[in-house]
Structures are given as structure tokens and as C-alpha cells.
Chains A and B, each alone.
Chain A
Amino acid sequence: MSDLILGIETSCDDTAVAVVDAEGSVRSSVVSSQLQTHAAFGGVFPEFAAREHITNILPTVHEALRLAGIQPADLKAIGVTRGPGLIGSLLVGLHTATALGIGWNKPVIGINHLRGHLRSADLEERRVVYPATILMVSGGHSLLAYMKNETDIRLLGSTRDDSVGEVFDKVGRMLGLGYPGGPEVDKLARQGQANIPFPRPLMQNNYEFSFSGLKSAVSRYLAANPDAVLADVAASFVQAVMEVLVKKSRLALKKNPSKSFLIVGGVAANSQLREEAARLCQNLGVQLSLPPVRWSTDNGAMIALAAFDYLKLGIHKPPLPQLQLSINEF
């Protein structure tokens, strides 16, 4: 038996399956996207997400095994996201994984999706030097955490309301940029001037975020200024978000001695965030660890790599859904 784990991720709208070894080498990674299904709704429609997962999950498992060139007998275990996430989506992944585990006689470990994201930076190459400060920014999560090592994690602060990715998508929709709006907002922002004084929420010295007020401010500005230059709106919005993220990250890095600064989650693909983070790390003399864009968004490989941590620590969480999980939890 090889030292390989099958990782299954269905917490939101992507059906993702991968085969990974203990060193983080990715033997295969397949993602079945539902982007087209949800584009018409301007966001993920949970019921339709669950339906698509049922249709997509076995072909995705089959393809991941085929691309890895392995048989189920070659697997050491199956890791599957147990939460946080959408209940219908989680159920499909968890029950499929449970059944595969029984049929193949393999252990099935429920994995905290957030811990998967944290480990995404070490896929294919060791990029993280510990201790590390992590900024997780995605459609579902915005938080800062401190990692002494791969498994010892302390939450510093998270969002009180919307996540960064969610606000990017909603502002993208306000600007008529379709779904997902994040990458398009990023592109449009590069063509404009950041000349609109949008609020920078919760700028006092703590690690918490709040983005819903900023989102509302953009909405109010567009309603009051129908002839607004959209590129300027995008640039001003992005600058406001970046200032918040960078200020909180700087505070976290100063108060929590870190050898590296890690940014994970879909918004880690944002070019302006990458540039700002590079500047910040240069100023502070900290190594910047960025996973390649393809590991920033939801994928099965990060779940498989996190599953190795669970095995190493002897932690066996049952494959049952947990809608809410903190990053401190397994």
C-alpha cells in the first residue's frame, strides 16, 4: 500500500477530489466547477450546489484515481471535508466518502475545511516556515490566525459579517461584472483612480474584520452617482479592502513573531493583495508564502494533506457534517 490519501472537498460549489502523498506531492487533482449553474443567481444557490455534487462526485473520484494511476487498494485513507460549509453540499461528499471507505475498507477522516486551506501552501513544495501568521480570505471566510507548526493553530480574529470574497462578488454584481465578480473587480480596479473615500471598517487595533458596511457604502454611492466612473469605484473599493487587510496583517505579524506570512483562500489570487503583501513582508523581513493560484481556491489536495496531519496526531473525526467549525478545531 502506498502512502496516499484521497481528498474529497464538497463544502460549497466545487466538487474536488485529489490524490496526495505524505510529502504534499499531488498525484492528481480534479475540480468539477459549478460556475455556470450559479452565475445566473449571482452567487452560490445551495440547493442546486448539492444537486450538482451528486451528479459530479463519482466521475470526479473516478478521474482522480485514473489520473493518479492508482487503484483504491493503493490508498491509505480517505479525507473528506466535514465543515464548515453548506449542509446539502457537505452531506453528499461525506456520505459518498463513507460508502467508499466501507466498500474499499479504508478509514474515512472528517477534515476541517479551514485546516485544509491552511495546508494548501505546502502542496507540491514546502513554502511555509513556522511560526507563521496566516490571512485566510475567501468567499466563505476572512480570518487571521497564528500557526506555531502545521497543527498548532490559534485564531487571532475573523469577520463579524461578510467575508472578503463575498463582498468582492457582491460589488462585482453592483458594477455589472457578472459572477464570480472578484477577478473582474480586480481587473477593473487597475484601470481606475482610487478617489472615492469609502470607509475602512474596524481600523482600530484588533484582528476583527467587518465588510458589510463597506459593501453598503459602495451600493449607496452607486445609487447616488448613476454616472460614476465604474473603474474608479472598483479602484476605491479595492483600496479600502486592501488597507484593512494590510493593516490587520501588519498588526498580527508585529505582535506574533512570525518567520512567514501566508495568504490562502480564493482572494489570495487577487493581484493587488499579492503586491501589498509582498511590500509588507519586505518591510517586516518576513517570508511571504503564497500557494499557487490553483491551490488557493477549494480543492481536494489540501483536504488530503490535512488528513495526513490528523493521522500523524491520531485524530479521527467521524465523517459527519459540522456547519460551523473554528480554525482551532480539527
Chain B
Amino acid sequence: MLTLGISTSSNQFILALGEDNRLIFNSGDYESDKDIGALMLLALEKTQRSVQEIRRIVADIGPGGTSRVRTGVSFANGLAFSLSIGVCPVSLFELTGKLLWERHQLPVVSTINSLKGNAYIGFFDEGAMQPTRFGFIDQILPDMAAHLDAFVVAGPHSAAIQALFPDKKIVLDNDLAGIAQIIMAHSDEWAARELKFPHIALPITEKHFL
């Protein structure tokens, strides 16, 4: 079974194809721009596969840059509709959480900037995603991470988080190479979330938290 993975929330667009959980194309291996359609055609060309063979789409729904997230989600929804299949939505925090948990075996705090000093804050611990929070870092994190001795931090607030916890061991890691492998390795567990038209995947926005 061919699975398509799309992650456009972070700076580098990732488009991946996998067969039976095995990665067979990763756009990160190529000089690629942010034209998601061109990446899709490149993936099909390099793997000599037909788009009709795609039976599952896993799409990162953010949080992240609004235009970037929309690009990936619109493309995923449109392709799923055209192929009469569904989209399995997954948050960027879940992807980074799994990636960095597997890399460091430590809880993971991921952040994304939002408006007016607010941030989205993701917390991945004990192999599972905890509810995402939205607000000011210095008001949310002290409670969220109080019980931890050490954790990984990803995102633009590393310095602020280090300043909040001078006595804890904090590993800074913004290297998200490996997202494509994470999507393929875990796509089966996200299959149950599949949204098929008339249900569609929607980007995570601050509206979910206000």
C-alpha cells in the first residue's frame, strides 16, 4: 500500500512516499522548492509509481506558518478528494515529539510562535502526545514541565525556556530531518483518524484554544 506524507508546517516542505511503512521517497533528499505540486510529480517520477496507487495520506495540520500549513492541507484534501480516499491529520508537535523522543529518549517540548506574544506549546511525554496549549510561554511552561528533570526543546523559544529552567537539563534540537521516516513508521496508528469527504482536514489555529 502506498502512503503519501505531507508536512509543510516548518520551513522545509516535506513530501514523502512510503510502501508498507517503508520510506521510498523523501523530498528532503532532493534540491526542492516549496511547490508542493512539483514535489508530488517528482515523487511519482522517481518512484515510477502512479498517483492512483496512493491509498493513504498523512498530512501535518500545524500549528505553523499559516500559509505553509494551508498549502499542505489544501493539497492533501484536494488529492484525497480526487482519489476518493481520506486524509489522516497529525499535528506538527506529534511529529516532532515522536522524532525527538526516539532520538533522545526524553520528553519533548515544542513551540511555535503565534500572534501578540502567544505561542503554541506541544508536550510529548511517555511516548504520547499531551494536549497542546496556547498562550504565553512563561505562564504555561512552569507547570507543564515542573516535574521533569530533563527534556528536549524544539522551536523558536529555546532561549526563553532555558532561562525559565536554569537548573534542568535541557537539550536543544531543531533538526527535523527524519520527519518523513516518522510519518511512514507511524502511519498505521494514524489511520483510524482518517477523514473522508465530506469531512476534511483543517489546520490547527488559535481558534481551537480560545
A residues near B (Cβ < 8 Å) are 47, 50-51, 54-55, 57-59, 61-62, 72, 87-88, 91-92, 95-105, 108, 319-320
What does DSSP make chain B's interface, helix, strand, loop or mixed? helix
User: Which of B37, B79, B83, B202 is A54 in contact with, Cβ under 8 Å?
Assistant: B202
Contact bitstring B108-130, A, C-beta under 8 A = 1, else 0: 00000000000000000000000
- Measured between beta carbons, the chain B residues less than 8 angstroms from A104 are 82
Q: Would you call B66 and A50 a contact (CB within 8 A)?
A: yes
Candidate in A57, A59, A92, A99 with the most chain B CB atoms within 10 angstroms: A99
- Measured between beta carbons, the chain B residues less than 8 angstroms from A103 are 51, 78-79, 81-83
Interface size of B as a range: 20 to 34
- Measured between beta carbons, the chain A residues less than 8 angstroms from B83 are 103
- Measured between beta carbons, the chain A residues less than 8 angstroms from B67 are 87-88, 91
B residues near A (Cβ < 8 Å) are 35-37, 40-41, 51, 66-67, 70-71, 73-79, 81-83, 197-198, 200, 202-203, 205
Q: A50-B66, A54-B73, A58-B77 are in contact. Are A99 and B35 (CB under 8 A)?
A: no
Q: Complex formed: what's the CA distance from A133 to B203 in Å?
A: 44
Ranked 9 nearest A-B pairs via Cβ: A103-B82, A99-B78, A98-B37, A95-B74, A96-B78, A99-B79, A95-B75, A99-B75, A96-B74
Which partner residue on chain A sits nearest B37 by CB separation? Answer: A98
Q: Complex formed: what's the CA distance from A57 to B76 in Å?
A: 13
- Measured between beta carbons, the chain A residues less than 8 angstroms from B76 are 99
Q: Complex formed: what's the CA distance from A320 to B78 in Å?
A: 16
Q: A99-B37, A102-B79, A103-B82 are in contact. Are A54 and B198 (CB under 8 A)?
A: no
A-B contact pairs, 7 of them (CB 8 A): A54-B73, A57-B74, A57-B78, A95-B74, A102-B40, A103-B83, A320-B35
B81 to chain A, nearest CB (A): 5
Q: Complex formed: what's the CA distance from A99 to B6 in Å?
A: 12
Q: Complex formed: what's the CA distance from A126 to B198 in Å?
A: 37
Q: A102-B51, A320-B35 are in contact. Are A92 and B74 (CB under 8 A)?
A: yes
Q: Complex formed: what's the CA distance from A58 to B73 in Å?
A: 12
Q: Complex formed: what's the CA distance from A100 to B78 in Å?
A: 5
User: Which of B36, B37, B71, B200 is A55 in contact with, Cβ under 8 Å?
Assistant: B200
